[in-house]
Chains A and B, each alone.
With several copies, the nearest count.
Chain A
Amino acid sequence: MDFKDSDAEATYRAAARDWLDANIAEHDAGHYPDDMAKAKAWQARKAVGGYACITWPQEWGGGGGTPIESVIFGQEEARHAVDGSYFTIGLGMCVPTVMAYADDATKRRFVGPAVRGDEIWSQLFSEPAGGSDVAAIRTRAVRDGDDWVINGQKVWTSGAHYSDYGIVLVRTNPDVPKHQGLTMFWLDLKAPGIEIRPIHQMSGGSSFNEVWFEDVRISDAQRLGPVDGGWKVALFTLMNERLAIGTSGGVGPEDILAFAAQANGADGPLLKDAAFRQTLADWWVQSEGLRNTRMRTITALSKGQVPGPESSIGKIVAANQLQAIGNTAVEAGDQYGIISDPALAPLRGAFHAATMWAPGLRIAGGTDEILKNIIAERVLGLPGEIRVDKDQAFRDLPVGA
């Protein structure tokens, strides 16, 4: 158990730090979560420095480095307020799928621009009828000569409104069981017939979109993997999702600790309330547990192991904690707690925002319930659910009202 870098790691870290100091300054440090142009410029600069996609081969614009180097750079980059979230899904999930399944010409066309941040990618899997049940896809693609014609609707598509390309999973055969009739394609999100509509969330914002397809025509050359063999491709993509999972963001134990030190309890600062202290300790223990679990994951990565579904525990714990911390701080205000105005609420309304955002975090990317199933089945080896839909043709499956 050792937190110290090896000599090689220390050298890499020092170089990364020097490079960041030199380049961040030039680039315009500071917080710019909604400035895509700046995010793209920074991504391009990282690509030049070999710090974009550190573990990818250099021939594809990557850094040719190790997973641990990627982690080290991430740690150092996190000391500066830069926002790479525009590229997470594309570089974490979509482009790896393109690299694994597309022909060389396609790869040459798309990988470089994606690494440099010139083009942003989205993942289009979820549908209204298939949230947890990803394979319950109804969006149809019908063959027409060398083309396919797509009709249907995707939903919960993060970043579709600012993305250039996407990978899309569609049903090409409804007469076989549902996992057997799916096919994966890449496509241009600016293509005719595609309409992108933001989803108004209960928390007020719109991080997600609905994407409607009306007679969208794409070439068979855009296919990734075999016809009706898309589920295997999707599993490849989703496996990479786990590796891309970050922290929950939002407020944590340190935030509510700072808040409680100055917040009024009935009898002095909230931080002196024994009940609050017991709860705070539990949150701290959870957060530290997740932080230290990530250390174990990084250790496994550094040894060349592939982290498994264990990482599912992170979101379950973090999302529920986020909801509890947000609401506890809200309730600590007593009557005043209802006020969410950032000018009046503690931490510019961050606890209130957490209370409204956490319900979404408990659902997005796998609900609490699905993630527990994954742990139970894939980590602990307990039996899978009884699948009534396994052997039936997709078109015969029962659906809701």
Chain B
Amino acid sequence: MNFDYSDDQKFLKDEARKFLGAHCGSDRVRAVLDDPATAYDADLWKAVGEQGWRGAAIPEEFGGLGLGHIELCAIAEELGRACAPLPFASTVYFVAEALMLYGSDAQKVRWLPRIAAGDVIGAFATSEGAGPVTARSVRTTVSGGKLTGDKIPVTDGDVADLIIVLARDGLYLVEKGASITAEVLETLDPTRSAARLTFADAPCEKLGSDDGIAAMQAVFDRAAVLLAFEQLGGADRCLEMAKGYALDRYAFGRQIGGYQAIKHKLADMYVKNELARSNAYYGAWALNAGAAELPLAAATARVAASDAYWFASKENIQTHGGMGFTWESDCHLYYRRSRQLALVAGSPAAWRERLVGQLEMRNAA
């Protein structure tokens, strides 16, 4: 038994941290934040591509590194920690995973190597408006190989080359093209791009089975584990920032970190982060091992990580006091990202509901 990263994985993770430390300082995140015309950091995206991270979990036969999902989790943790302004999740956790799960050999051969090589940005388009995505909420249809519908929001939809779209009768691959209109959306996290995509008879290709909702959920389960590591990385960074400030800042002649209100706030953060880490590890095991426990483990990891990141990001601001409320402080980058990550694969409430549903199914079995 070894419930930890292996030494090789730790090395990879350390290298990723060093790389992002050098290439993804908060100035880079802010550059995307401050410029509404910039969807992501293109230079960083290219540099990350050169590291091969996008293909970490893609088999070598499809152009990836074939390392496995634990390695991808390690990378995700560091990307989350750096608050990287990249379409990494859309491309790798959603689209590449969907292709590996449901793609025909031809589809895999066509797309996975290009994703691994960095030539393709992906997006996963499921929502059509406010509220959870359900069989009833999906109005997008396919007729004669053409897809028509209105998806909002689609994370990275404005910059995506390949969009996997949920229609009434399944998932479809749609390539960027003239039959798609993109409208960029104003969101709580401008460091990540989102768009409304309107498809008007867009040429498409079926991906997997006719049960689109089930397929979407299977992709979400996989993405949830990977997102949980991004959330965990972000939450850990918030704790680190809060701790640093609590040691540096003096009030009434003492470090504020010496006051129990701050000490216990940070202890609460630590507890939530450690529970989230442990649950994320279990999710990583389930994902990597292809275990039947994945849906329950993914829900557990996602709920824990969403809770930890929300708490850490908001109490990090509180620990910083007035300074934490300024634009110039990095605190709000993490607060914003915590909202983006908590919602991009469905809300925490929806995942809690799914978690209990899984327990019911397990007990009924």
Interface set of A (CB-CB < 8 Å, partner B):
1-6, 9, 68, 126, 128-133, 136, 155-156, 199-204, 257-258, 261, 263-266, 270-271, 274-275, 277-278, 280-282, 284-286, 288-293, 295-296, 298-300, 302, 310, 313, 316-317, 323, 327, 330-341, 344, 346, 352, 355-356, 359-360, 362-364, 367-369, 371-373, 375-377, 379-389, 392, 397-401
Contact = CB atoms under 8 A, between A and B. Distances in A.
B327 A200 contact: yes
B276 to A, nearest CB: 7
Contacts of B5: 1
Contact of A331 (B194, B288, B300, B347): B347
A316 B267 CA distance: 11
A266 B353 contact: yes
Contacts of A5: 1
Given A331-B342, A339-B153, A382-B263, A400 B252 contact: no
Contacts of B126: 335
B32 to A, nearest CB: 15
A156 B281 contact: no
A289 B355 CA distance: 14
Nearest to B271: A313
Contacts of A129: 250
A291 B275 CA distance: 9
Nearest to A331: B347
A294 B328 CA distance: 37
A382 B263 CA distance: 7
If over half of B's interface residues share one DSSP class (helix, strand or loop), that class is named, otherwise mixed; here it is helix
B3 A266 contact: no
Given A335-B153, A368-B318, A278 B266 contact: no
Contacts of A295: 1, 3, 278, 281-282
B340 A202 contact: no
B325 A278 contact: no
Contact of B314 (A1, A346, A359, A388): A359
A203 to B, nearest CB: 8
B187 A338 contact: yes
7 contacts: A202-B327, A271-B356, A277-B352, A278-B349, A295-B282, A375-B271, A400-B248
B258 to A, nearest CB: 4
Please classify how large the interface on chain B is, using the bins under 10, 10 to 19, 20 to 34, 35 or more. 35 or more
A265 B350 CA distance: 9
A359 B312 CA distance: 13
Max chain A C-beta neighbours (<10 A), residue from B267, B332, B344: B267
A6 B324 contact: no
Interface in B332-354: 332, 335, 339-340, 342-353
Given A363-B325, A382-B263, 12 more contacts: A3-B285, A263-B130, A271-B360, A285-B304, A288-B279, A289-B304, A327-B339, A332-B347, A334-B130, A334-B343, A335-B344, A373-B267
A401 B248 contact: yes
A4 B1 contact: yes
Given A327-B310, A389-B253, A1 B70 contact: yes
B284 to A, nearest CB: 5
Contact of B134 (A155, A203, A266, A372): A266
A292 B286 CA distance: 13
Interface string B256-295: 0111111110111011001111110110110010000000
A362 B325 CA distance: 10
Interface in B4-60: 4-5
Given A333-B130, A335-B127, A132 B261 contact: no
Interface of B: 1-5, 70, 126-127, 129-134, 137, 152-153, 185-189, 194, 239, 243, 246-255, 257-264, 266-268, 270-271, 274-279, 281-282, 284-285, 288, 299-300, 303-304, 307, 310, 314, 317-318, 321-329, 331-332, 335, 339-340, 342-353, 355-356, 359-360, 363
A132 B321 contact: yes
Contacts of A401: 248
A364 B322 contact: yes
A15 B252 CA distance: 50
Contact of A280 (B185, B328, B356): B356
A298 B340 CA distance: 34
A359 B359 CA distance: 29
Contact of B303 (A285, A372, A385): A285
A282 B353 CA distance: 10
Contact of A335 (B133, B249, B254): B133
A299 B3 contact: yes
A132 B323 CA distance: 12
B304 to A, nearest CB: 5
A360 B262 contact: no
B260 A285 contact: no
Contact of A284 (B127, B322, B349, B359): B359
B318 A362 contact: yes
Nearest to B287: A1
B251 A336 contact: no
B224 to A, nearest CB: 13
A53 B300 CA distance: 35
Contacts of A130: 251
A399 B194 CA distance: 44
B263 A398 contact: no
A355 B187 CA distance: 12
Question: What 4 A-B pairs have minimum CB-CB distances, sorted nearest first?
Answer: A264-B131, A389-B253, A289-B275, A281-B352
A37 to B, nearest CB: 29
A138 to B, nearest CB: 12
Residue with the greatest number of chain A CB neighbours at <10 A, chosen from B282, B307, B323: B282
B343 A131 contact: no
A278 B4 CA distance: 29
B331 to A, nearest CB: 7
Listed residue (A1, A264, A362, A377) with the most chain B CB atoms within 10 angstroms of its CB: A1
A315 to B, nearest CB: 11
A362 B267 CA distance: 16
A335 B126 CA distance: 9
A349 to B, nearest CB: 9
A305 B359 CA distance: 35
Contacts of B131: 263-266, 270, 332-334, 336
A200 B359 CA distance: 39
A284 B321 contact: no
A213 B15 CA distance: 47
Given A280-B356, A285-B307, A336-B153, A202 B326 contact: yes
Contacts of B339: 327, 330, 337-338, 355
Given A277-B356, A289-B279, A339-B194, A68 B1 contact: yes
A326 B253 CA distance: 36
Contact of A334 (B133, B259, B324): B133
Nearest to B257: A382
A386 B251 CA distance: 12
Contacts of B1: 2-6, 9, 68, 295, 298-299, 302
Nearest to B299: A281
